[in-house]
Structures are given as structure tokens and as C-alpha cells.
Amino acid sequence: MSRLALLTALALCLSASTASAVEYPKEVRDAFMSECTGAEAPELVCLCVLVKMEANISLNDLSKQNFDNEKIVKWSEECVATNNLGMVEAPKVDPVDSEVVVSWGPECRTYFDEVRGWCTEPNLSEQMKAGCDAWMQGVATMQSSLSGLPAETVTAAEDGCKSAVEALRQARAALR
């Protein structure tokens, strides 16, 4: 596995204040996500743009197309850029010459705990629940992929996990 997904990018997308945001109706959200992902954009990027739209464009303005398309383009670029921040690059290593590990390092274990802690909070918005589903799946994928990984891969993932923990904590603080 050359990349291990740590899906904190969505949390970084939420850096804009969402306290006054109103979720669009399910039909509008579903239509946007369908059109966006249908254009082959990653689901997390689409969700990130949707969250920014909900925080900044009222449903009334959206229905009247009373918004700045340039802002949406800018948000899309930001979301694409931040989508990669939650990824951990794992170098390819010849497993024959490598020691096999039996557990993730402390930074990745901390990341797993942070994701679980946030995703089990009772007051999560529907948007965050959707993000948590993806994060939890990423955590499960990483944990299940440990078997047979060379030690160098796990060691390299530690730096990415450390960055992901910091980004996740910053995003949580911004949303409180």
C-alpha cells in the first residue's frame, strides 16, 4: 500500500465558521453531491465545498443563483489542496529486506484515538457524521493493513500521523 488515508482533510475544510450555517435540505445536498462526484471530484472535496457553501451562501441566494462563482472556484481549489493534507505518504520498501511490525507507532495510535473520540461525540452535525464515517473507515483500513507492512513504512507513517493529529486538533478547536 503506497498511501494510507488519514481523512482529516475534511476537518481542515471546516475552518470557516459554521456556527451560523444552515444545512441545505437533503434533496439539495444530495443533488450537489451527485453532480460534484459525477464530475469525478473526490467525495471529500465535494463535501468540503458543500460545507463552505452552506456556511456562506443562504438557500435563498443559492436558489436565485445570487452568489459569486469565483468564490466557489476558490473554495474548490482550497478543498482540493487540503484534501491531500490528510494523507500519509508511505514509501515503497522491499518487504524481503525489512522487519515486519506488529503495532502502529504512538503518533498513529494517538490519531486513531483522536478520530474515535471526536466521532463518538453526541453533538456532531450531520456533515461531521458523514466525515466521521470516512475517517473511521480510514482508521479501520490503516489498522487492518498493518499485518505484513515493513517497519520502514510504519515509521514513515508516524510523521504523517503526527501532522494529522495536529490538524485534527486545530479543526476541532476552530469548530468549538
Say if residue 101 is in the same domain as residue 146.
yes
Q: Residue 60: is it exposed, middle or buried by C-beta count within 10 angstroms (0-12/13-18/19+)?
A: exposed
Q: Is residue 116 part of a domain?
A: yes
Look at residues 83, 105, 120 and tell me which one is the last residue of a structural domain.
Answer: 83
Query: How is residue 100 annotated by DSSP?
Result: B
Q: Is residue 76 part of a domain?
A: yes
Q: Is residue 126 part of a domain?
A: yes
What's the whole-model pTM score? 0.44
**Band (26; pLDDT cuts 50, 70, 90):** confident
> In what helix (H) or strand (E) does residue 44 lie, and over which residues does it extend?
helix 43-56
CA atoms of 58 and 32, how far apart (whole Å) = 15
Per-residue pLDDT tens over the stretch 146-173: 666 677 777 777 877 887 788 777 766 6
